[in-house]
């Protein structure tokens, strides 16, 4: 009986060690199970969206992720649904099936759905819309290629920065930081009509408002979106529309939908289109003239 007890105990310990080792290996049987099996504390993942959508991440690659604000919020027990989560560039240390470790000053594990990988070797051509970050500052940005003399290091204008009618305006950030050269292996080329990270969306909320947001990840029926004030939101995919990455067919005199703060609204009229810079001069419903990014205008949302 004593021998049987010892054997049973050793067997149980062996199984436990095997399970712990498998949990740490990316190619284990445990990693092949559905994402729903990898549960996160509700405080660490409060969104009705998978913590992973099958992202192809690679050890050591550059990524965009809200690693600083997410960590602080989780550590302090803050409500993530009401927290601004700014996406910064950092390095992926260890890629996992559902959660991965990023590294900046310290290692920290994040759900894969909050990590956007930037593959190496990407090149761009003039007019392409890119997902990158403000490279003389910080924070995720979309940009339009102005000069592709070096396709691996294009010169760009940032579309997420304000361009003011008054060129001397102190908030004319698009002009101030325009024509910036990107580093190699630091951007993704976006494609019109694709539900991919970085795409611009208008999503209808429960009040019927079309709210602006940047797509983080998408499934067949839901989207994870970085909305106004950098809050992460989930919408039914059917409630969202992709904003075109081109001004093709848009001309002076056209009535269009434009973005006012966080919401897309009707009442805008096109005054001028500068496709090369990705900007549209408009008159809004208050008879005020302004310059909007192509990410902030569309012909229709219906």
Per-residue pLDDT tens for 68-89?
Answer: 999 999 999 999 999 999 999 9
Q: Please give the pLDDT value at position 6.
A: 38
Q: Please give the pLDDT value at position 109.
A: 94
CA distance 234 to 212: 13
- What the block records as the tokens of 218 is 């998408």
Rounded percentage of the chain residues whose pLDDT exceeds 70:
87
**Weakest-pLDDT range from 6-15, 207-216, 275-284:** 6-15
Band of residue 271 on the pLDDT scale cut at 50, 70, 90: very high
Band of residue 20 on the pLDDT scale cut at 50, 70, 90: very low
Q: Please give the pLDDT value at position 272.
A: 97
Rounded percentage of the chain residues whose pLDDT exceeds 90:
82
- What the block records as the tokens of 132 is 């990158």
Q: Quote the pTM value.
A: 0.86
Q: Which residues pair with 115 in a beta bridge?
A: none
DSSP states of the chain: -HHHHHHHHHHHHHHHHHHHHHHH-TTSTGGGS-GGGS---TTT--SSS-S-S-----TT-EEEE-HHHHHHHHHTT--GGGSB---EEEEEEE--SSEEEEESSSEEEEEGGG-EEE-TT----TT-EEEEE-TTS-SEEEEEEEE-SSTTS-EEEETTS---SSTT-TT-HHHHT-SEEPPTT--EE--TT---TT-EEEEE-TTS-EEEEEEEEE-SSEEEEE-GGGBEEEEEGGGEEEPPS--TT--TT-EEEEEETTEEEEEEEEEEEETTTTEEEEE-TTS-EEEEEGGGEES---
């Amino acid at each position: 009986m004593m021998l049987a007890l010892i054997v049973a105990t050793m067997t149980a310990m062996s199984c436990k060690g095997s399970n712990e080792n498998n949990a740490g290996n990316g190619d284990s049987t445990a990693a092949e199970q559905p994402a729903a099996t990898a549960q996160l504390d509700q405080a660490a993942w409060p969104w009705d969206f998978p913590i992973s959508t099958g992202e192809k991440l690679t050890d050591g690659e550059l990524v965009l992720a809200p690693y600083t604000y997410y960590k602080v919020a989780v550590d302090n027990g803050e409500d993530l649904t009401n927290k601004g989560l700014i996406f910064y560039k950092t390095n992926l240390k260890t890629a996992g099936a559902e959660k991965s470790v990023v590294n900046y000053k310290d290692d920290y594990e994040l759900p894969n759905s909050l990590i956007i990988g930037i593959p190496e070797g990407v090149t761009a051509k003039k007019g392409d819309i890119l997902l990158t970050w403000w490279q003389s500052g910080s924070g995720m940005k979309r940009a339009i290629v102005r000069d592709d003399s070096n396709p691996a290091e294009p010169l760009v204008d940032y579309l997420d920065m304000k361009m003011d009618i008054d060129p001397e305006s102190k908030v004319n950030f698009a002009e101030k930081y325009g024509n910036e050269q990107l580093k190699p292996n630091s951007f993704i080329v976006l494609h019109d009509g694709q539900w991919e990270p970085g795409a611009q969306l208008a999503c209808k909320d429960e009040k019927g408002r079309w709210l602006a947001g940047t797509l983080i990840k998408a499934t067949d029926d839901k989207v994870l979106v970085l909305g106004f004030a950098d809050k992460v939101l989930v919408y039914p995919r059917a409630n969202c529309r992709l904003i075109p990455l081109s001004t093709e067919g848009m001309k002076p005199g056209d009535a269009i939908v434009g973005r006012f703060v966080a919401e897309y609204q009707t009442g805008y009229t096109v005054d001028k289109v500068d496709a090369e810079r990705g900007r549209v001069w408009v008159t809004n419903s208050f008879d005020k003239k302004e310059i909007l990014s192509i990410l902030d205008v569309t012909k229709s949302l219906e």
